[in-house]
Amino acid sequence: MNTEDIIKEVKKLIKTIIPPSIEITNIELEGPDIAIYTKNIEEFANNNDIVRQLAQGLRRRVAIRPDPSLLIETDRAETEIREIIPNEAEITDIYFSPDSGEVSIEALSPGLAIGKHGSTLNEIKKRIGWAPKVVRSPPIPSKTIREIRGYLRTVIDERRTFLRRIGRKIYKDISDEENYVRLTALGGYREVGRSCTLITTRHSKVMVDCGVNVGSEENGSPYLNVPEALPLEKLDCVVITHAHLDHAGLVPLLFKYGYDGPIYLTPPTRDMMSLLQLDYLKVAVGEGRKTPFESVHIREAIKHCITLRYGDTTDITSDIRLTFQNAGHILGSAIAHFHVGDGLHNVAITGDIKYEKTWLFNAAVNKFPRLETLIVESTYGGHKDFQPHRKESAQQLKRIINQTISKNGKILIPVFAVGRSQEVMIVLEQLMRLNEIPKVKVYLDGMIMEATAIHTAYPEYLNNQLRTQIFQRGENPFLSDIFVHIDNAEKREKLCDDPDPCIILATSGMLNGGPVMEYFKAMAPDKKNTFVFVGYQAEGTLGRKIQKGAKEVQIREKGKPINVGIKFNVETCDGFSGHSDRKQLLNFIYNLNPKPERVLMCHGEESKCLDLASTIHQKYNVETRTPMNLETLRFV
Ligand SMILES: [Zn+2]
Ligand SMILES: [Zn+2]
C-alpha cells in the first residue's frame, strides 16, 4: 500500500470511529507513525479508546498531534511558563516534544508547579497551546540529557521533514515477487568488538549495531565497505541494541559517509550512546590518535534517532517490523526482534544479554510471538565460563576490600562508565551501610557520575526493587555521601598522592585510555594496593594482559611508550558481569518461547562460539551456526 492509499484508509476509518465534532486538520506519515493533526486534542486525550481503535484498525502506530497553528513558538512559550509558575516550584528544566505537542516542566516541587486543582497548568495551556506536563526533577541532573533536549529543540523543522521523508519510504508500495531473508555478518562474529549485522530482504536493508573494536588499531571498524553494505545511503535504517562502543561506537561514521536515515533505539540508549561517543573522541584526542569522526557527526546521529520503548511494535521498512525487549545488560539495552513480511520470517538479535535479575535490571526477555532464527551473544559461552552468583561476588569484593584496607592500600576498579559502575556503586553503598566494610571514600572518575545521572532520569528501566527503594522509600544509593566525583587532572593527581585507603572506580574498563591510566601508573608499583576487574577484558587490551598476570606492561604517556612494573595484587570478580555466563546462556535458550529453528552465535571468541554452538545443538536439537565475518546466510 502506498502513502496515498494509507491516507485514504485513515480517512475512511476516521469517519467510522471519530465523532464529527472532532476536527481533523491534517494526516501525515511521520517516521513509523501515522500522525493525525487536530484542533481538538483534548477530546482525544479524554478518549483513549479512539486512538486504540484507530491503531488496531490500521495496524500501525497512530499519534494524535495538535494542529501546529495552536502552538506558540518554543522560546516565547518558555518565557510564558516561567512567568506563570511561581519561583518556589524551582523549575530545573523545560523541554518540548513537538511530536506530541507536549511540554515537560521539570520541577523540584511539582505540586507548586501544578497549582490548586491544576489551575496553573490550565492557565499555561490556554496561553501557549502546548500541553504542559509536570515531572519531578531527576535526583542527579544530567548534562548529556539537557544538551540533547536543547539541541533537538533547535532542529524541530528539520526533524519533521526528515520524519515525513522516512514515513513515505516505510509505506512505499512493494511488489509481491518472491521475498527472501538474509543475514550478512559485518563484524563481531567469532570475535568481541565491532558488532555489525546486515539483514536484507527483497525490499529492505537494515543494519543492526555499528560498533568499534576499541582493542584493535587496524581492525577496529566493521566491514562497511563491502558491496552488501554500500552505498550507505541505500540502507533503510540502523537499529542499535545498546549504547556500548562495541555496538554503537561508529554510528556517527555512517553519517560522515553519507547515511541519512533513521536510527531506532530506546531513549536511554540514545543518551548514553552520545555520551560514550563523545568520551571516545575525547580519549582519542587526549592520546593524539586520529579520530574516525567529529562531534558534528554525533549531533547528526542524535537528529536521526527515533526512540522506541520496550514492547512497542513498529514498522521500520515496507516489510519489516521491529520490537525491542529488555536485554538486562545495561540501561536501555534491548533484544531486537524483527518480523519480516506478513509472517514470512522472525529473527531476533540479542545484542548483549544478562539472563538473571541484577542489582539494576530485570532479566532478559525470551518470550516472543514468533521466532525462527536467533542470533545470540557468546561472550561467556565456553565450557569453563561459569560466573559465581552475584551475591558471592559481593562477598568476594568485601573480602578483597577488607584485606586491602587492613594493609592501608587502595583499591582500583576499572569500569565501563555505563553498567558495571552502577552495579558496583550499589554494592559498595550497601556494604558500607551495613558496616561490612570500612566507610572509606569511593572516588568516581571519567563519565561515571554522568552515566549515573542518566540512570536516575529513566527509573522505568531499572528493576522494580531499586525503583521502589529510590522512589517510595526515598533511599537513592547513588546519592550516598561516600561517592566523590573526580573531574580534573589536579584532583586526580592529589588523589594519587593521598596515602589514605580508598576505592577508585575509573574508566575505561579495559584500560585502553581514560583516567584509569593515571591511577594505574601511580598504584601498580605498590604491593599494598589491589586492582579488581569486574568486567570483560577483550583480547588485545591492556586489561587482558594485566588480568593474565603480566609483570610489566608498556603504556603510552603523551604519545611516548613507557614501562610500568606491576606489583599490586590483581583480582577478578566475575559475578558483576552484565553478560550471561554459560549456564545463563543455555537457560536462556532452553526457556525460549517459542523454540527457534536455528541459533547463530556471535559476540564471542571463536572457541567460545564453537563450543556454545555444539552444546546447544546437542542439548536442544536445533540447528546452530557460527558465521564468520563477511559470511552471508539465507533463512528464507
Ligand atoms: Zn555491551
Ligand atoms: Zn558487546
Q: What is the mean pLDDT of residues 505-516?
A: 90
Q: Residue 288, class by beta-carbon neighbours within 10 Å (0-12 exposed, 13-18 middle, 19+ buried)?
A: exposed
**502 Cα: distance to centroid of ligand 2 (angstroms):** 30
Q: What is the pLDDT of residue 136?
A: 83
Q: What is the pLDDT of residue 481?
A: 95
pTM: 0.92
**587 Cα: distance to centroid of ligand 2 (angstroms):** 20
Q: What is the mean pLDDT of residues 465-472?
A: 85
**246 Cα: distance to centroid of ligand 2 (angstroms):** 5
Residues forming a β-bridge with 263: 238, 305
Q: Which ligand is nearest to the CA of 244?
A: 1
CA distance 95 to 102: 9
Q: What is the pLDDT of residue 1?
A: 64
* Residue 351, pLDDT above cutoff 90: yes
Q: What is the mean pLDDT of residues 333-353?
A: 97
Cis peptide before 459 (omega within 30 of 0): no
The least confident of 234-238, 511-515, 519-523 is 511-515
273-325: pLDDT as tens digits: 999 999 999 888 877 888 999 999 999 999 999 999 999 999 999 999 999 99
Cis peptide before 508 (omega within 30 of 0): yes
**352 Cα: distance to centroid of ligand 1 (angstroms):** 5
Q: 541519512: which residue's cell?
A: 260
* Residue 488, pLDDT above cutoff 80: yes
Q: Which ligand is nearest to the CA of 276?
A: 1
Q: Which residues contact 533 (CB under 8 A, 6 or more apart)?
A: 413, 414, 543, 547, 570, 571, 572, 573
Q: Which ligand is nearest to the CA of 211?
A: 2
Neighbour count for residue 325 (Cβ, 10 Å):
19
Q: Which ligand is nearest to the CA of 333?
A: 1
**492 Cα: distance to centroid of ligand 1 (angstroms):** 28
Q: Which ligand is nearest to the CA of 420?
A: 1
Three-state helix/strand/coil letters over 573-591: CHHHCCCCCHHHHHHHHHC
Q: What is the pLDDT of residue 55?
A: 83
**151 Cα: distance to centroid of ligand 2 (angstroms):** 28
Specify whether the CB–CB gap between 348 and 593 falls below 8 A.
no
Q: What is the pLDDT of residue 175?
A: 77
**3-state DSSP helix/strand/coil % of the chain, to nearest 5:** 40, 20, 40
Residues forming a β-bridge with 337: 323, 348
Q: 492557565: which residue's cell?
A: 123
**Ramachandran sector of residue 511 (left: φ over 0; alpha: ψ -120 to 50; beta: rest):** left
Confidence of residue 490 (pLDDT cuts 50, 70, 90): very high
Q: What is the mean pLDDT of residues 343-358?
A: 96
CA distance 169 to 175: 14
**83 Cα: distance to centroid of ligand 2 (angstroms):** 47
Q: Which ligand is nearest to the CA of 243?
A: 1
Instruction: Please spell the DSSP secondary structure of 4-26, one letter per residue.
Output: HHHHHHHHHHHHHHS-TTSPEEE
* Residue 3, pLDDT above cutoff 80: no
CA distance 99 to 37: 11
Report how far apart, in Å, the C-alpha atoms of 564 and of each of 408, 507, 526 are: 22, 19, 11
Specify whether the CB–CB gap between 64 and 38 falls below 8 A.
yes
**59 Cα: distance to centroid of ligand 1 (angstroms):** 33
Confidence of residue 214 (pLDDT cuts 50, 70, 90): confident
**202 Cα: distance to centroid of ligand 2 (angstroms):** 29
Reduced to 3 states, what is the DSSP secondary structure of residue 95?
Answer: strand
**307 Cα: distance to centroid of ligand 2 (angstroms):** 20
**301 Cα: distance to centroid of ligand 2 (angstroms):** 20
Q: Which residues surround ligand 2, an ion (CB under 5 A)?
A: 246, 352
Q: What is the mean pLDDT of residues 521-527?
A: 95
* Residue 471, pLDDT above cutoff 80: no
Greater model confidence, 42 or 240: 240
Q: Which ligand is nearest to the CA of 418?
A: 1
42-77: pLDDT as tens digits: 777 777 788 888 888 888 888 888 888 889 999 999
Specify whether the CB–CB gap between 162 and 255 falls below 8 A.
no
| Closest to 486 in 3D by CA, of 457, 454, 509, 518 | 518
**71 Cα: distance to centroid of ligand 2 (angstroms):** 43
Specify whether the CB–CB gap between 308 and 264 falls below 8 A.
yes
* Residue 577, pLDDT above cutoff 70: yes
598-636: pLDDT as tens digits: 999 999 999 999 999 999 999 999 999 999 999 999 999
State the number of CA atoms in the 13 A half-sphere of 16 facing the CB. 9
**Percent of the chain whose predicted confidence (pLDDT) is above 70:** 100
**537 Cα: distance to centroid of ligand 1 (angstroms):** 12
**Percent of the chain whose predicted confidence (pLDDT) is above 90:** 72
Residues forming a β-bridge with 237: 206
CA distance 143 to 450: 7
Cis peptide before 594 (omega within 30 of 0): yes
Average model confidence (pLDDT) across the chain: 92
Instruction: Please spell the DSSP secondary structure of 223-272, one letter per residue.
Output: -TTSTTT-SGGG--EEE-S-SSHHHHTTHHHHHHTT--S-EEE-HHHHHH
Q: What is the pLDDT of residue 417?
A: 84
Q: Which ligand is nearest to the CA of 577?
A: 1
**579 Cα: distance to centroid of ligand 2 (angstroms):** 9
Q: At what angle do helices 156-170 and 143-154 cross, to 10 degrees?
A: 80
Specify whether the CB–CB gap between 346 and 370 falls below 8 A.
yes
